[in-house]
Amino acid sequence: MTQTREQRTHPTDPAALHAALRAGLPAHAVLTDPDVLAGYAHDMASFCPAGAPAVVVLPRTVEQVQHVMRTATALRVPVVPQGGRSGLSGAANADEGCVVLSLVRMDRVLEIDPVDRVAVVEPGVVNADLARAVAARGLYYPPDPSSRETCTIGGNIGTASGGLCCVKYGVTAEYVLGLDVVLADGRLLRTGRRTAKGVAGYDLTHLFVGSEGSLGVVVRAVLALKPAPPRQLVLAAEFPSASAACEAVCAITAEGHVPSLLELMDRTTVRAVNELSRMGLPETTEALLLAAFDTPDPAADLAAVAALCRAAGATEVVPADTAAESELLLQARRLALTALEAVKGTTMIDDVCVPRSRLGEMLEGIDRVARKYALTIGVCAHAGDGNTHPTVCFDATDPEETARARASFDEIMALGLELGGTITGEHGVGLLKKDWLARELGPVALELHRGIKRTFDPLGLLNPGKVF
């Protein structure tokens, strides 16, 4: 059984906690003002409770993180690690009376090695900043979440995040070669390697990837890099139905094409993006499919994909002629979640991934759910790997509509599992999906997960109440 808050903590005088932390941290790194603390209480997820932290600490060194964890262990105070707080599952939400351990000031790119093709970074490095730094050396760090301008590498590792390029280049887990992790008791653990190959011991590195700060605090990461690819060109295809767009996705995959990006936006999302940005996307379409190639001859690849799209029923297929036109289309896709949030002010974002062959069924099912609950639900998807992001738009001040939003969210989660999918492809579990994780894993796997948690964090201090 997971330990309760009463088992893992005892009442601690805030002044004593603050003094103990300041003994190993600069005064400016220990924040106690209630108004400031409130800003660190939660991430971007809806429907996830958050407590009031007792203190926020902003260390700059590994030794300072170790001091925080030793102090927390000695005083039995829970610790919630945080990055950029752009998460969508409540994984970074504060526990009542906890220490929020914000890693955003540990933001150095320590090394870029073009021979070994690795970067060594601290957890607070912003994803897009790392991408730009390695690009200046002719290299490429592929994982690119939509929040790449604000999300941090530590947060990406914690949630095993993905991005638009996953269909060709894979997700964060595939680029993490090694980690330095501060454990709950303050010890420093080094996992993995920087070599191209290595199988010594259990794969502890990837145990931490996706663990959402529940097993340890990542303080350094060795990341694999790739040579910079050619500039990609993008094709936009309009379809009369989402199912027709999904047929095209299946055909593209079955024919052996490997696009660098294969994204889908439904009619609701396209209209929301237009309303926000005035981009002039085609609002007559029921689904807009974006395909990109960064091959030596992208025009030829796009022509082959265009033919497959037309065969699947596309009413219009428009390839971009330049990199600038391509970037404009990608910007439209990156704006999708922000645009949907503007529809009614609050969104609840699902993250259900299904086999590509079931993608059409998933989108048809989401449409049924939207009609059943009389809600606006926009869908953007990493169609190339079956990862859908149904986004429920609702008025949080309307209790009845909020209840319908919650019910629709659960029904979409259930549909994903029925189709052989998973409750999260890249956003993580956090608080939002704890009950659904138990359904997906089953009792045997869940008990093993809890056993691993007890091994790394016997007092239950790290990110308590999250994941399971």
Residue 462, in any domain of the structure: no
446 lies in some domain: no
> Would you say residue 174 has pLDDT above 60?
yes
Contact 317, 306 (CB under 8 A): yes
Question: 97 with 113, same domain?
Answer: no
3-class DSSP string for 281-299: CCCCCCEEEEEEECCCCHH
Whether residue 383 contacts residue 289, with contact meaning beta carbons closer than 8 Å, is answered with: yes
Residue in 196, 198, 201, 179 with CA at minimum distance from that of residue 188: 179
Please check whether residues 255 and 382 belong to one and the same domain: yes
Domain end position, chosen among 227, 255, 273:
227
- pLDDT band at 163; cut points 50, 70, 90: confident
pLDDT at 3 over 50: no
Q: Both tokens of residue 467? A: 């994941």
Locate tokens 């940005």: which residue? Answer: 277
Is the per-residue pLDDT at 312 higher than 90?
yes
Task: For residues 220 and 153, state if they share a domain.
Answer: yes
Q: What is the DSSP letter of 19?
A: H
Cα(413)–Cα(62) distance, rounded to whole angstroms? 39
CA distance 187 to 147: 32
Q: What average pLDDT does the structure give for the chain? A: 94
Q: What DSSP string describes 294-361?
A: -SSSHHHHHHHHHHHHHHTT-SEEEE-SSHHHHHHHHHHHHTHHHHHHHHHSEEEE--EE--GGGHHH
Report residue 1's pLDDT band, with 50, 70 and 90 as the boundaries: very low
Question: Has residue 325 got a pLDDT over 90?
Answer: no
- Nearest 5°: the CA angle 273, 347, 46 is 150
Is 461 a domain residue? no
Instruction: Give the chain's domain count.
Output: 3
Q: Which residue has the higher pLDDT, 142 or 10?
A: 142
Same domain, 188 and 283: no
Helices (H), 123-263: 127-135, 153-159, 166-169, 204-208, 242-254
Nearest-Å Rg of the Cα atoms of the chain is 22
Calculate the alpha carbon distances from 112 to 6, 143, 170 in Å.
Answer: 45, 17, 21
Helices (H), 162-201: 166-169
* 429 in any annotated domain: no
166, pLDDT greater than 60: yes
Q: What is the mean pLDDT of residues 191-203?
A: 94
Q: What angle do CA 401, 403, 407 make, to 5 degrees?
A: 115
CA distance linking residue 11 with residue 62, whole number of Å: 27
- Low-confidence winner among 138-142, 200-204, 344-348, 409-413 (lowest mean pLDDT): 344-348
pLDDT bracket for residue 8 (50, 70, 90): very low
With 70 as the cut, is the pLDDT of residue 15 above it? Answer: yes
297 and 372 both lie in a single domain? yes
| 339 and 400 together in one domain | yes
CATH number of the domain bearing residue 158: 3.30.465.10
Domain shared by 275 and 401, yes or no: yes
The answer to whether 98 and 53 have CB atoms below 8 angstroms apart is: yes
212 touches 79 (CB < 8 A): no
Verify that 281 and 132 share a domain, yes or no. no
pLDDT over 60 at 295, yes or no:
yes
Question: Does 308 lie in the same domain as 275?
Answer: yes
pLDDT exceeds cutoff 50 at 4? no
- Supply the pLDDT for residue 124: 98
Confidence of residue 292 (pLDDT cuts 50, 70, 90): very high
> Domain check: are 208 and 250 in the same one?
no
**Which residue is it, tokens 């030794």?**
63
- Bigger pLDDT: 4 vs 236: 236
User: For residue 36, what are the domain limits?
Assistant: 5-105+451-456
Return the CATH number at 271.
3.40.462.10
Whether pLDDT at 345 is above 90: no
Specify if 212 maps to a domain. yes
Q: What is the pLDDT of residues 35-45, one digit of tens each?
A: 999 999 999 88
pLDDT band at 324 (very low <50, low <70, confident <90, very high): confident
Say whether pLDDT at 421 is over 80. yes
Please check whether residues 77 and 119 belong to one and the same domain: no
> Comparing C-alpha atoms, which of 44, 219, 265, 22 is closest to residue 120?
219
- Residues 6 or more apart whose Cβ sits within 8 Å of residue 80: 53, 92, 93, 94, 95, 98, 99, 100, 101, 213, 463
- The answer to whether residue 327 is domain-embedded is yes
Domain boundary among 210, 227, 244: 227
Domain termination residue (choose one: 203, 227, 251):
227
State whether residue 446 is helix, strand or coil.
Answer: helix
Q: Which helix (H) or strand (E) is 264 found in, with range?
A: strand 261-266
| CATH code of residue 79 | 3.30.43.10
Q: Identify the CA nearest to 211 among candidates 287, 156, 276.
A: 156
With residue 81 as reference, give the H or E element that holds it.
strand 79-82
Q: Is residue 321 part of a domain?
A: yes
In a domain, 439, yes or no: no
Of the pLDDT bands very low, low, confident and very high (cuts 50, 70, 90), residue 11 is low
pLDDT value at residue 426:
93
Q: What is residue 31's three-state secondary structure?
A: strand
pLDDT computed for residue 7 by the predictor: 44
Residue 9: its pLDDT value, please? Answer: 47
Query: What is the signed CA dihedral for 463, 79, 44, 220, rounded to 10 degrees?
Result: -90
H-type helices in 345-391, by residue range? 359-372
Query: Are residues 140 and 255 located together in one domain of the fold?
Result: no
